[in-house]
A and B are shown apart, each in its own frame.
Chain A
Amino acid sequence: DTGVSQDPRHKITKRGQNVTFRCDPISEHNRLYWYRQTLGQGPEFLTYFQNEAQLEKSRLLSDRFSAERPKGSFSTLEIQRTEQGDSAMYLCASSLRTGNYGYTFGSGTRLTVV
């Protein structure tokens, strides 16, 4: 499968616990994005990496959130001290710097905080 892979697909956690999600982009894609989507809303931008550099972070990304892309390949998104409001679908997308942008989304990680 040469698409964008996300792991896990689903995560249920208790409030206050830490969680980490992983995204494996398409191998030749140097751009990687994280989005969050809640019920009834469109995806909202969280952060962007170009290769290993994190070039933009949304104000939605509070101090409890951290993202890394250590070798410019896979990326992780960690949420510390989870809150019920963190329950959402976390989507990863990758792209090449092309004229049509060529975004590909992963299937997402659905987080439920109980």
Chain B
Amino acid sequence: RKEVEQDPGPFNVPEGATVAFNCTYSNSASQSFFWYRQDCRKEPKLLMSVYSSGNEDGRFTAQLNRASQYISLLIRDSKLSDSATYLCVVIRLGGATNKLIFGTGTLLAVQP
């Protein structure tokens, strides 16, 4: 079982739709949580950090549930430019490395 699990999709949604992605992580020592965006054949780029209190950045809302070890990303009013792969990422406590541990990613295709 992978340490970070995501539904690979694809999620095909019309412009203007609201779409939600979910992610679960298996290691309770996970410390920090992020959503990254990756365009086709490009490098991953940080979309937003995720906090237990929930955080919002424009049309994007991220939520963390530590008890359930569950992370979510909500995108409102989808744009064509939102089409990309969304990667759920955790950093685990206990090491000096602070390496990012990625899920497989969820592919979003926003249709006109």
Which residues of A does B touch, CB under 8 Å? 31, 33, 35, 40-45, 48, 50, 55-56, 89, 91, 93, 95, 97, 100-101, 103, 105-108, 110
Complex Cα distance, B100 from A41, in Å, reads 14
Does B25 touch A at the CB level, under 8 Å?
no
**Which stretch (B14-22, B71-79, B90-98) binds chain A?**
B90-98
Q: Nearest A residue to B87 by beta-carbon distance?
A: A42
CB distance from A88 to the nearest CB of B (A): 12
> How many B residues have CB within 8 A of the partner chain?
23
Complex Cα distance, B44 from A93, in Å, reads 10
The answer to whether B44 and A43 have CB atoms under 8 Å apart is yes
The answer to whether A56 and B97 have CB atoms under 8 Å apart is yes
Residues of B within 8 A of A50 (CB): 96
The answer to whether B97 and A55 have CB atoms under 8 Å apart is yes
Q: Nearest A residue to B45 by beta-carbon distance?
A: A105
Interface of chain A, main secondary structure: strand
The answer to whether A44 and B102 have CB atoms under 8 Å apart is yes
Q: CB within 8 A of B49: which of A33, A41, A100, A110? A: A100
Which residues of B does A touch, CB under 8 Å? 4, 8, 32, 41-46, 49, 87, 91, 95-105
Most-contacted residue by chain A among B4, B42, B43, B44 (CB, 10 A): B43
Q: Nearest B residue to A43 by beta-carbon distance?
A: B102
Most-contacted residue by chain A among B4, B8, B100, B104 (CB, 10 A): B100
Residues of A within 8 A of B8 (CB): 40
Q: Nearest A residue to B49 by beta-carbon distance?
A: A100
CB distance from B29 to the nearest CB of A (A): 16
The answer to whether B104 and A107 have CB atoms under 8 Å apart is no
Complex Cα distance, B98 from A93, in Å, reads 12
Complex Cα distance, B36 from A35, in Å, reads 15
Q: CB within 8 A of B101: which of A40, A45, A100? A: A45
The answer to whether B44 and A45 have CB atoms under 8 Å apart is no
Name 9 extra pairs, CB < 8 A, besides A48-B99, A89-B41. A33-B99, A42-B103, A42-B104, A43-B44, A45-B101, A56-B99, A100-B49, A101-B98, A105-B43
